[in-house]
Amino acid sequence: MTSTTYAEERTPYAIEVAGLRKSYGKLDVLTGVDLKVPAGTVFCLLGPNGAGKTTTVRILTTLVRPDGGTARVAGHDVVRERSAVRRAISLTGQYAAVDELQTGAENLRMMGRLAGLSRRAARRRAEELLERFELTAAAHRRAGHYSGGMRRRLDLAAGLTASAPVIFLDEPTTGLDLTSRQAMWDVVDGLVAAGRTVFLTTQYLEEADRLAARIAVVDHGRVVAEGSPAELKSRFGDQRLDLHLADRPSFDAAAARLGARVVQRDEAALTLGVTTDGSAAHVRSVLDEIDPAGSGVRRFSLHSATLDDVFLSLTTSTPGAERIEAGV
């Protein structure tokens, strides 16, 4: 029986996940993840350490088998059609995986040949990527002599050698300086413009805001919110009210009264942040609630809500799970 190709089974979704579960011993890392990633977009998975981001990526890229649920990438089941999935994807993980004994150019030419390019095409692709990631001057130096940031850029370039329809970037800009991060953002923009799908995990919330068409926030192994950056920010408060308390007792009393409504907390500055619709009536009601005598709040300020506010509103730490996520 002939395997169905990605082109023959094309759907509006490049990735479809339903009820995905994974445990390591007694530790439940994924507890029923559901995702749909539209083709030709950037989809970002956000969550604290141990929330299940890297485990999800490993399952979708066929490196780990799920315990339950289903997942299809580029129209192929990640368990039954592993080879077809691998032909349709590119993966760049959190840690550089280059051959330190080869030069930067040799690493990229090797990856091109492994991806099925001819010698001439692999050489052209290597030159293009070296220029795009500002590595041309170091092209003929051994990768083992590269700085950490240069090795990371080379690893990203290697992951983009093949023209895969679905690209997984697992915290791709960790360890890069701002200039290199911005260059990577431009590369992602170009990939989407060319019709590719990018599945991104990142620890930089502004990166998700800048790149993603849709974001899913995961916590304790499940999706707790999903939407566009604008939808998430509006859903969890268009603005943030920062309350600057007069002293420590006032700070403690306000924090206890507000409870889970606190989305930002700075104990050194005696500042609490809560979401608000920005109206005078709501601001007044919060002040009346926590400071009826008018002496506990020294001043307050309003700010536009950010993904940081959404993230802090939705997530909590998951002790112990980060060891699994880091592969330890």
Residue identified by tokens 């809560």 is 274
**pLDDT more than 90, % of the chain:** 49
Contacts by 269-272, CB closer than 8 A, 24 or more apart: 269/244, 270/244, 270/245, 270/246, 271/242, 271/243, 271/244, 271/245, 272/242, 272/243, 272/245
Residues in the chain: 328
pLDDT of residue 261: 83
Output the CA–CA distances (angstroms, integers) from residue 262 to 242, 256, 266, 274, 292, in the order listed.
10, 10, 11, 5, 19
User: Which token pair is 170?
Assistant: 């697992």
pLDDT band at 321 (very low <50, low <70, confident <90, very high): very low
What is the rounded average pLDDT of the residues 293-319? 76
Q: What pLDDT is attached to residue 11?
A: 63
Identify the band that residue 316 occupies on the pLDDT scale cut at 50, 70 and 90. Answer: low
Q: Render pLDDT for 19-28 as a digit per residue (tens, 0 to 9).
A: 999 999 999 9
Determine the pLDDT at residue 94: 62
Mean pLDDT confidence for 273-282: 85
| Pairwise pLDDT comparison (79 vs 9), residue with the higher score | 79
Which pLDDT belongs to residue 180?
A: 79
* Average pLDDT value for residue range 149-175: 84
Give the torsion through C-alpha atoms of 324, 325, 327, 328, to 10 deg.
Answer: -50
Q: Could you count the other beta carbons within 10 Å of the beta carbon of residue 292?
A: 9
What pLDDT does residue 170 have?
87
Q: At what angle do helices 148-159 and 104-114 cross, to 10 degrees?
A: 20
What angle in degrees, to the nearest 10, is found between the helix axes of 178-193 and 148-159?
A: 0
What is the average per-residue pLDDT within 7-25?
83
pLDDT in tens, 111-154: 888 878 899 999 999 998 898 888 999 999 999 998 877 888 88
For 135-146, the pLDDT digits (tens) are 999 999 999 998
Whether the Cβ atoms of residue 62 and residue 85 lie closer than 8 Å to each other: yes
At residue 181, the pLDDT reads 83
Owner of token pair 């002496």: 295
Q: What is the pLDDT of residue 326?
A: 45
pLDDT at residue 10 is higher than 70: no
CB 202 within 8 A of CB 46: yes
Note the pLDDT of residue 1: 38
Q: Give the model's pLDDT for residue 317.
A: 45
Torsion, CA 219, CA 220, CA 221, CA 226, rounded to 10: -20
Helical packing angle, 119-132 and 104-114, nearest 10°: 130
**Confidence at residue 206, expressed as pLDDT on a 0 to 100 scale:** 86
Q: What percent of the chain has pLDDT over 70?
A: 89
Give yes or no for residue 3 having a pLDDT over 80. Answer: no
Domains and CATH numbers, the chain: 13-231 (3.40.50.300), 237-304 (3.30.70.920)
Of 164-168, 242-246, 317-321, minimum mean pLDDT range? 317-321
**Alpha carbons 27 and 124: distance in angstroms, whole number:** 47
> What confidence score (pLDDT) does residue 9 get?
47
**What average pLDDT does this structure show over 91-96?**
69
The whole-chain average pLDDT of the chain stands at 85
pTM beyond cutoff 0.85: no
Residue that is written with structure tokens 């939705």 in the block? 314
* pLDDT for res 320: 41
**Cα 45-51-52 angle, rounded to 5 deg:** 70
In this predicted structure, the answer to whether residue 322 has a pLDDT above a threshold of 60 is no
Please tell me the predicted confidence (pLDDT) of residue 243.
95
Instruction: Give the pLDDT confidence of 231-261 residue by residue, as tens digits.
Output: 887 776 667 889 999 999 999 999 999 988 8
Q: Return the closest-CA partner of residue 312 out of 49, 48, 51.
A: 48
Q: What is the mean pLDDT of residues 2-8?
A: 41
pLDDT > 70? residue 176: yes
What long-range pairs does 72-78 form, CB within 8 A, spacing at least 24? Answer: 72/15, 72/16, 72/17, 73/14, 73/15, 73/166, 74/6, 74/14, 74/15, 74/165, 74/166, 75/4, 75/5, 75/6, 75/8, 75/9, 75/10, 75/11, 76/6, 76/9
pLDDT at 256: 93
Alpha-carbon span 305 to 309, nearest angstrom: 6
